[in-house]
Structure 1
Amino acid sequence: MNNSVHIVKPGPEDLDGTNWVFETVVRDAFQKEGLGHLEDEISGEILHKKKMLKEAVEEEGEVFFLVARLNGRIIGTISFGPCGEIIRECTGGALEGVGELGSLLILPELQSQGIGSQLIHAMIHELHRRGIEKFSLDSGYKRAQKRWVRKFGEPYMIVKDYWGTGSDHMIWLCSVSGFLSR
């Protein structure tokens, strides 16, 4: 199946499909984390991603996206841009100049099939092409944290109980060259 996945820079024609991925995956992730009742946070996250995407497509922002298509349908996303507020806050600004990998979202029915890895691989090659040497990423989702530890190794920082007792936030700092040959 993954042989027919195409990863491209999104254009204006991809806004609706990508926004649908945001709506579907963010709601699903919150639900699976037991946070489906946090409608304001869910809506805010979705609106923020839609705004970043629109700016990226119009080449007005600092964030850029790649999207995964399967049979012409948008099924996943990944982005890169300046590190976000949580990373800046948690690290005391130590990673201020390091960009952040984000918005890695795959439709729920297609997760765990290697599409996320393909998006990461494509973004790392794009970062290398642009001369970017390091990237950061973070997660407060327990399910995602397990995957990121397998993919990126031990976190640069673990912020204990950031989201409440027993809910840590993890931040990774990675070298682009360390992932080029994977």
Structure 2
Amino acid sequence: MMQLLIRRPEQSDIQALHEFFDLVIRDTYKKEGIAELVDDQQDEWETKKQYVAMDLESQGKKRFFWLALNEETNDIIGTIECGAANEIIQQTIKEELFNCLEIGTVFVHPNYQNRGIGTMLLQKMLLTLENRRVPSLCLDSGYKQAQMIWQKKFGQPDFVLENYWGANSHHMIWKRTLPFRI
């Protein structure tokens, strides 16, 4: 059985994280049937790179990541981060969200998916937010596979932006009060 290490990112992880983000984003777009949206993939990759840079530069104050590593190989196999709510969430919820952090970048390497790694990272982040006395969290997704997972963990979304990404391609947003158990 694989041993998992969950830790904060370090400057030496940057290159591996950039490659990890690229791999997971490309795999996700392929599985979602939208691999042809190369510019969107590039934008998402650039955003994730900015988020990890913000974490390291602010020492976790602007963005905050946890990494999951295969302890045997020291490879990054999962990520989760939190920070200020994104524009879609802010425009949809239409309330002050300064006390509500968004959970995002919940990525698991394609070879390690469906093994509970994302759930472990989510539990770690929920405890982190509770310990920081963050009163609420939000998250969103336009990916159909991720939406199914989030609905299992968080129940029905608070907001569904129908056909946001095209016909039958909705965007879902959840907002939950902490503490929250999955």
Summarize the Cα distance change of 1:104–1:95 in structure 2 as closer, same or farther, 3 Å threshold.
Answer: farther
Give SS of 1:112's match: coil
1:17 aligns with 2:19: no
Q: CA deviation at 1:55?
A: 1.8
Aligned to 2:89: 87
Aligned to 1:96: 97
CA contact (8 A) 2:26 2:41 kept: yes
Q: Distance in 2 between matches of 1:18 and 1:75?
A: 10
Q: CA deviation at 1:171?
A: 0.3
Aligned to 1:116: 118
CA RMSD of aligned residues (A): 1.4
Aligned to 1:136: 138
The 5 Å alignment of 1:16-165 reads: 16-59=15-58, 62-71=62-71, 72-91=74-93, 93-94=94-95, 96-97=97-98, 98-165=100-167
Q: Which runs of 5+ in 2 are unaligned?
A: none
- Normalising by structure 1, report the TM-score: 0.93
Moved over 3 A (4+): none
Q: CA deviation at 1:95?
A: 5.5
Q: Which runs of 5+ in 1 are unaligned?
A: none
CA contact (8 A) 1:10 1:65 kept: yes
> Aligned pair count?
178
Task: Provide, for residues 109-157 of structure 1, a one-character-per-residue CA deviation record: whole Å limited to 9, x for no partner.
Answer: 1000000000000101111111112100000111110111001111111
Give SS of 1:34's match: coil
Aligned to 1:178: 180
CA contact (8 A) 2:140 2:174 kept: yes
